[in-house]
Amino acid sequence: MNFSEEELERYSRHIILEDVGVEGQYKLLNSSVLIIGAGGLGTPAAQFLAAAGIGKIGIVDADKVELSNLQRQVLHYTSDVGNLKVESVRDKINEMNPDVEVKTYPYYLNSTNIREVIKDYDFIIDGTDNFPAKFLINDVCVMENKAFSHAGIIRFTGQTTTVVPGQGACYRCLFPEPPSSNSVPSCKEAGVIGVLGGILGTLQATEAIKYILDEGELLTSQLLTYDALAMNFRKIDLEKRDDCEICGSNPEIKELIDYEQGVCEL
């Protein structure tokens, strides 16, 4: 734990915290977080994790920056339009904090490649915007015993929970299977207020930091919902289902599933 003078200054506000200190900052610098989705949730999460000094950050996204992204995806600038999102995020993190190693994955994850991608990371952040990806992330993290943060946003509302396999409910305990086609619109179809990604994404980053530091209470077996119009946070207790298809006592799901994304004609 031989910090340079620059590191001591950069992380001084962490180091003076009783629950972080030199040892905690060392944990952060020697930890790794994978962010799946470099959009409204993933970019604010990446920004604060990089600032906190997470030693290695992986960014997964196959898309390029579009002008419509800039309303909420805070690490992408007008000059990035047309560039790969993972490269845009990498460049901003490199400029923000050179202590951080950034690894980019400019492709979509599926049942054949996701295990290889997540295996070297301590914590996973689900910043995706579609149900097939969310179920895939939940299932592989349960199978591979990886802690992760789920979040979703739409219109003026958002939700998040943290899953630590073996310590409470997983995503399928709450949602056993993806919704049917034409039942749930996406942000592209229904819209989303831009600041929601920042609020929920930074909550996800907070959960990652707490998990790495082993401090505080995680949102395990709890769904935190946020209504921006009412300015209301609410915690809902979740129950681990013994008959859960993936984390129950006799799981039905033995292999990862690539669901197709349903279309909602809003």
Q: Taking the model in full, what pTM does it have?
A: 0.95
Whether residue 200 lies inside any domain: the answer is yes
Give tens-digit pLDDT for 67-80.
Answer: 999 999 999 999 99
The larger pLDDT score, comparing residue 185 to residue 124, is at 124
Q: 186: pLDDT confidence band, cut at 50, 70 and 90?
A: low
Residue 100 inside a domain? The answer is yes
For the chain, the domain total comes to 1
184 falls in which pLDDT band (50, 70, 90)? low
Whether 249 is covered by a domain: the verdict is no
Q: Is residue 5 domain-resident?
A: no
pLDDT at 266 over 60: no
CA distance 266 to 261: 15
Q: Pick the closest to residue 142 from 9, 10, 29, 254 (CA basis).
A: 254
Task: Give the confidence band of 260 by pLDDT, cuts at 50, 70, 90.
Answer: confident
Residue 181 burial (CB count, 10 A)? 12
The pLDDT value recorded for residue 203 is 98
Catalytic choice (187, 244, 247, 264):
187
Domain that holds residue 158: 11-237
Domain with residue 86: its CATH number is 3.40.50.720
More confident residue, 186 or 33: 33
**Is 189 within the bounds of a domain?**
yes
Q: What ranges make up the beta strands (E) of 171-218?
A: none
Instruction: Judge contact between 37 and 186, C-beta under 8 A.
Output: no
Q: Within a domain: residue 253?
A: no
Read off the DSSP letter of residue 67: G
Does residue 55 lie within any of the structural domains? yes
Place of tokens 């958002």: 158
Give the DSSP letter of residue 167: S
SS3 225: strand
Q: Are 34 and 125 in contact (CB under 8 A)?
A: yes
Active site residue 264: no
243 within domain boundaries: no
